[in-house]
Amino acid sequence: MDIDTNINLPQDQIEFIQSLIGLESKNMKILDNPLRIEGEFYIPEETILSYTNHYLKDSNNKDIENIQVIINENKLTVGGEYKLFAGFKTPIDIDIEPILTTNKNLKLKLKDIRVLNLSLHDDIIDAIAKSWFSQLDNISVDKGDIIIDKKFFKNINIKNIEVKKDHLKIELIIMLK
């Protein structure tokens, strides 16, 4: 892209793109009728962390700080400090398995939540997930799992998602028209 084309992106789009730095694409194709981009995207830990911080900022979530992301076999571990009460912060770790439902919604299966290295009971996991996500459009909580409706992604269709050894692999179709 020529920098002199005078393309002006809104600040929120620039911040979103900056949150995806490190994203790598394989087998990307630009197709017509309808105009779209299809490909496999490889997302390393740093990019997941950057996007998570961007999302927390956009959603005005001030309860979680000092986030870390680790990619393990078949799951992501997201850790940080969680504000339980006014000023009390406690370490928290969440194991997440991202999967697609039969309806192509994204399900973040919360495998375990540990506070002070103690695993929480499923009812407490469900309550925490509901408190974090129940107010957001196209996101619901089912037995502690977070279901992100495909409408949330607007013009993006997720075809497949896999957790690999050192990255998250997502096959996407991005509709441009």
Which of 20, 16, 27 lies closest to 160 in space, CA to CA? 27
Structure tokens at 10: 């809104």
Which of 177, 170, 175 lies closest to 51 in space, CA to CA? 170
Query: In the chain, what percentage of residues exceed pLDDT 90?
Result: 29
Distance of alpha carbon 30 from alpha carbon 23, whole angstroms = 18
Residue type, 126: D
Lowest-confidence segment of 37-46, 88-97, 116-125 by average pLDDT: 116-125
Instruction: Please tell me whether residue 57 adopts helix, strand or coil conformation.
Output: helix
pLDDT higher than 80, residue 9: no
Confidence (pLDDT) at 162? 94
Structure tokens at 78: 């997201």
Structure tokens at 156: 């993006």
Lowest-confidence segment of 1-15, 84-98, 130-144 by average pLDDT: 1-15
Q: Is residue 5 very low, low, confident or very high in pLDDT (cuts 50, 70, 90)? A: low
Q: Are 167 and 44 in contact (CB under 8 A)?
A: yes
Q: Is residue 170 very low, low, confident or very high in pLDDT (cuts 50, 70, 90)? A: very high
pLDDT higher than 60, residue 26: yes
Q: Is residue 1 very low, low, confident or very high in pLDDT (cuts 50, 70, 90)? A: very low
Query: In the chain, what percentage of residues exceed pLDDT 70?
Result: 90
Q: Is residue 4 very low, low, confident or very high in pLDDT (cuts 50, 70, 90)? A: low
92, exposed or middle or buried, with CB in 10 Å at 0-12, 13-18, 19+? buried
Confidence (pLDDT) at 3? 56
Average pLDDT over residues 103-111: 90
Structure tokens at 155: 């013009």
Which of 152, 170, 153 lies closest to 161 in space, CA to CA? 170
**pTM of the entire predicted model:** 0.77
